[in-house]
């Protein structure tokens, strides 16, 4: 068994929601917080790029161009 910073945070805060994702609560199968995050990030990225071509996505991938887009998404975020 390993212990991550997310497990420590979930335990200290006694957060049931976090605890279920970092194996602090009893379940039938192990949880994978990183898998959950990966699915959410992929969904957001697909919404950001929409039907753009590969070349358009690469053009968008410049950090200075993406920063305002990411910031506006973060401000409207509901979290996990």
Q: Residue ranges of the domains in the chain?
A: 5-75
How much is the pLDDT for 70?
67
Please, which pLDDT band fits residue 14 given cuts at 50, 70 and 90? very high
Evaluate whether 23 touches 52 at the Cβ level (below 8 Å): no
pTM: 0.55
Please, which pLDDT band fits residue 66 given cuts at 50, 70 and 90? low
Q: For residue range 22-56, what is the model confidence (pLDDT) as tens digits?
A: 988 888 988 888 888 899 988 888 887 787 787 77
Evaluate whether 4 touches 24 at the Cβ level (below 8 Å): no
Average pLDDT over residues 51-71: 71
Query: Residue 70 CB: number of other CB atoms within 10 A?
Result: 12
């Amino acid at each position: 068994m390993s212990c991550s910073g997310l497990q420590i945070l979930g335990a200290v805060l006694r957060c049931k929601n976090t605890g279920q994702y970092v194996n602090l609560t009893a379940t039938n199968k192990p949880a994978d917080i990183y898998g959950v995050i990966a699915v959410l990030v992929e969904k957001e990225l697909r919404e950001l790029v929409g039907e753009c071509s590969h070349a358009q996505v690469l053009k968008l991938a410049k950090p200075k161009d993406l920063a305002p887009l990411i910031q506006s998404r973060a401000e409207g975020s509901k979290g996990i």
